[in-house]
């Protein structure tokens, strides 16, 4: 475990090895959770999405993806030719 220090302005610098382990490269935004029972601060990296992309992260869509991945893993797939796919794009 490594100590970090907070400036008078409240700035904390995260150690490079911790950033590397979490895949944080460059500026980042974090969610802060205060765990009073453990006397701890928990920082979680967050990603900001555009509103029009948020649908992909809804529970309904994630359920559909999980179902599709399960079907694929279990061999329930169908291959289509470009000609068969074209009418579906209209």
The domain segmentation of the chain, as residue ranges, is 51-89
Confidence tier at 70 by pLDDT (50, 70, 90): very high
Helix, strand, coil fractions of the chain, as percent rounded to 5: 40, 20, 40
CB 46 within 8 A of CB 31: yes
pLDDT at 47: 87
| Angstrom distances, CA of residue 37 to CA of 4, 13, 31, 34, 43 | 21, 24, 18, 9, 16
Q: Tens digit of pLDDT for each residue in 14-50?
A: 999 999 999 999 999 999 999 999 999 999 999 889 9
Cα(18)–Cα(43) distance, integer angstroms: 12
Say whether pLDDT at 1 is over 80. no
């Amino acid at each position: 475990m490594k100590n970090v220090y907070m400036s008078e302005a409240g700035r904390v610098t995260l150690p490079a090895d911790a950033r590397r382990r979490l895949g944080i490269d460059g500026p980042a935004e974090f969610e802060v959770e205060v765990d009073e029972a453990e006397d701890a601060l928990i920082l979680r990296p967050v990603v900001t999405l555009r509103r029009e992309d948020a649908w992909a992260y809804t529970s309904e869509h994630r359920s559909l993806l999980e179902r599709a991945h399960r079907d694929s893993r279990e061999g329930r797939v169908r291959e289509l030719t470009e000609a068969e796919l074209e009418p579906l794009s209209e």
